[in-house]
Structure 1
Amino acid sequence: MSRPTGNVRLKAARVAAGFNSQQDLADALTEQAGRMGIRGLSVGARQVRRWESDNPPWPQPDCQRVLVHLLGQSLETLGFTPPWGTGGAKHDLARPASVTGPTKMLGLPTTSAQPSMATQPATAGQDFRSVTHAHRRLYWSVAPTKLHPAVVAHATLGCALLPEAAEPTRGVIAAALAETYLLAGRIEFFDLREPSLAHETLLLALQAAGEADDPLLGSAIIAHMAFIPGWAGDREVAHERMIAARTYARRASASAEFLSWLDAVEAECETRCGDTRRALNLIVHAEGVLSEGNEYPSPEWMDWFSPARLSAFKGNTQLLAGHLPQAREALLEALDSMAPGEEKQRTVVYGDLAAVEASCGNVEEACVYVGDALDQLALTWYATGMDRVRDVRRALTPHQHMSCVRDLDDRLYDWTTTISVLGR
């Protein structure tokens, strides 16, 4: 007789509770979520099937609450293994991460099983968090291929510390771990152009935010996850994730700046999906939210948004909508308003200004802005900025006989830039 396979513990608990099929359990979980006041949670039979597989994923925080409440057993008893590891863990927040760099694959082993007793001192949380903060600042000046392995290694350490810490130290470590994985995901998506890997990493960040019970951090992570389908043109999935991000933000004391950023994220997704009209409406709403001022302070980790960044979002949307004079005005305003440390975003604005001038037939002005972008990229590499440069160069193809475009090609395809682009 063959032995049963999959997560037999969950299956046994499901049948014992009177749910004969996976669909029955899925329907019951969705209904229970509504009774518990958890809005927007819908569980399908496919999700239950994954939970009953040989390698069940660790459920998301809201699903955890509903599962435990409905079946009356802990997640471990139901056959789930915490990602940060208990004895014999199969799943780990510190999963092996590999990113293709210029010369080699970057990899890290998973952490070994850790004892469940609290052995870390109270200072461990602050010490771990201080390194997280340092990495966050270094993101704006250190090459992504150099910073990324350090950030992932720091996350691996956090996964090892988490089961060894008692509250409140455990909560501090979990929140810093979520920030660390968020930073790693940002690097993977915006700098290394690895959207699939970024999705996995951001999911780990969300799990850590759930452990810290930090809904605002969870909202920021989910909004970053919306970029992935948004940039791929999948409006439905991006919209669904933005609904989730706004739901989590309502559970916290979100600042006006944070809420404005959510509008800007959704506007960029709508722009990428071709609905510039809705995107511009979202930008107008974001500007209104910012003008009302902050009732609550923005979190320290939110260092990627400002009024200048909102102007940059606006200018890009107006550019793609064909509102060229307005786009030029917004982008110049963004450029003038940017503070030191925003050099990566500056390359994107230069690229968009070049695109505006190229669309207006001002070829020489477009080449000047592309040159400014290349100057900045030589100091602070940013894949998103280089994408803008490439887009403009393609737009200048009808004018490639002009000397300014040929000069641009000499810069764009010199040894250093060519090797850098192809290597990344």
Structure 2
Amino acid sequence: MTRPTGNTRLKAARLAAGYRSQQDLVDALASRGVTVGIRQVRRWESDNPPLPYPDVRQALTEILGQDIEQLGFTPTAGTGSDLPAAASALPPLNRGPVRTPNAIQPSSAGTDYLSVTRAHRRLYWTVAPATLHPAVSAHAALGEALLPSTAGLTRRAVAAALAESWLLAGRIEFFDLREPARAQETWVRALQAAGGADDALLGSAVLAHMAFVPGWAGDRPAAAERMIAARTYARRSSASAEFLAWLDAVEAECETRCGDTRTALNLIAHGEDVLAAGGEHSSPEWMDWFSPVRLAAFKGNTQLTAGHLPQARETLLRVLDELPADADKQRTVVLGDLAAVEAADGHPATAAEYAVRALELLETHWYATGLERVRGVRRALAQWQHEQCVRDLDDRLYGWGAVVSALAM
């Protein structure tokens, strides 16, 4: 028999909003003048959660950023979505086909839905993000609509694939489009779907991605909190050595962005040891964004930030040589970091050369994170801005096709 998982949607939204315990949620509601006990919160997070009173519903949706249905509650007849009575009394507008519930889905629905999710995962490395993102988001919306019409193992399969789709949508928003606030909201939905699938490893992956948002903003406590949660979920699952090393890499990048390169280098060294030791578990198929060479790319960036220029140059050149052919997005980042090394070491011509190579790749493999690296290099070259090599870089960076993207970030 499948064990009950409770109202995972509410629990996931609570954790994502930073309320680590049920008591934290009680306190947050109290700060808004709503008094409930922890026993009531337990009932809300049970398998059959009672619908909160209207004032409590409003407070919950405000502090958790989700509507009442997304939080796992089912409005009773007459409650609707808390619309004013006059609005709910209006007759429905005739704007298209009548929306009817989906029929109960067959067991093949999980496999069929996952097949498209897998295709999107592979297409991510070659399709322009602005082209792929609408398709991934639409597929996730389909999964949300299908989920209520599934049960048992089929429901878990659809929920897991849905979590992966939302995770990918968030990755595009954060890394490719540089929309961190939007990515944060998307990853909350991914975490809720992972909870519906009772997939702790997928939940760990989502939580670790969520750490990037505060980490890149320099908010170390918030990033650390999400990493603690990610590691907790990883301990509940059969995490591979590669997955555990990736957690070290994510935390290392957050520490680097927050100014603690010593801790970051220690984390990367630990990740290298974990990979060298190996393990009995294999990585999940959806984890296609990490490998030993990508851990080395994290290391090179941290060495650069720490001012260890010879070591950073050696690491990044090795990464550039070992990256697979389909890793052009990552290649733009590595070229940007190599350019930054040369700029910091007083070699403007070499720095500009690497930056131009990155821009050439960005013309066919757009990656906002890569452009962010190039723009950082250009700022570092300010003292040589009248030299021809830097002017050539400016011509490439601020061409008609690139200037809007460059200045919008």
Which TM class, normalised by the smaller chain length?
0.7 to 0.9
Partner of 2:49: 75
Name the amino acid aligned to 2:228: I
| Alignment check: 8 A CA contact 1:114 1:160 kept | no
Name the amino acid aligned to 2:174: F
1:149 deviation in Å? 1.1
Partner of 2:346: 361
User: What is the CA deviation profile of residues 199-232 of structure 1, one whole-angstrom value per residue up to 9, with x for unaligned ones?
Assistant: 1110000000000000000000000000000000
Q: 1:344 and 2:329 equivalent?
A: yes
| Alignment check: 8 A CA contact 2:51 2:75 kept | no
Partner of 1:248: 233
Unaligned runs of 5+ in 1: 1-28, 30-39, 54-62, 92-111
CA–CA distance in structure 2, aligned partners of residues 51 and 139 of structure 1: 42
Q: 1:196 and 2:181 equivalent?
A: yes
CA–CA distance in structure 2, aligned partners of residues 64 and 132 of structure 1: 39
| Alignment check: 8 A CA contact 1:144 1:192 kept | yes
CA–CA distance in structure 2, aligned partners of residues 134 and 51 of structure 1: 45
Specify which of 23, 28, 44 is matched with residue 43 of structure 1: 23
CA–CA distance in structure 2, aligned partners of residues 322 and 65 of structure 1: 53
1:421 deviation in Å? 3.5
User: What is the CA deviation profile of residues 345-374 of structure 1, one whole-angstrom value per residue up to 9, with x for unaligned ones?
Assistant: 110000000000001111111111001101
Name the amino acid aligned to 2:23: V
The change in CA–CA distance for 1:411 and 1:49 in structure 2 (over 3 A counts) is same
Q: 1:269 and 2:254 equivalent?
A: yes
CA–CA distance in structure 2, aligned partners of residues 85 and 151 of structure 1: 26
Specify which of 198, 213, 227 is matched with residue 212 of structure 2: 227
User: What is the CA deviation profile of residues 29-55 of structure 1, one whole-angstrom value per residue up to 9, with x for unaligned ones?
Assistant: 9xxxxxxxxxx74632344459997xx
Percent of paired sites with the same residue: 61
User: What is the CA deviation profile of residues 151-186 of structure 1, one whole-angstrom value per residue up to 9, with x for unaligned ones?
Assistant: 111111001100001211111000000000001111
Partner of 1:3: none
| Alignment check: 8 A CA contact 2:51 2:74 kept | no
After TM superposition, the score normalised by the length of structure 2 is 0.81
| Alignment check: 8 A CA contact 1:64 1:75 kept | no
SS of 1:379 mapped into structure 2: coil
Partner of 2:7: none
Name the amino acid aligned to 1:74: N
Name the amino acid aligned to 2:391: R
1:419 deviation in Å? 3.7
After TM superposition, the score normalised by the length of structure 1 is 0.78
| Alignment check: 8 A CA contact 1:177 1:205 kept | yes
Q: 1:312 and 2:308 equivalent?
A: no
Q: 1:394 and 2:379 equivalent?
A: yes
Q: 1:283 and 2:268 equivalent?
A: yes
Report how many residues are paired. 356
Unaligned runs of 5+ in 2: 1-13, 15-19, 58-67, 83-97
The change in CA–CA distance for 1:72 and 1:274 in structure 2 (over 3 A counts) is closer
Q: 1:177 and 2:152 equivalent?
A: no
Partner of 2:286: 301
1:195 deviation in Å? 1.0
CA–CA distance in structure 2, aligned partners of residues 286 and 65 of structure 1: 42
Partner of 2:136: 151
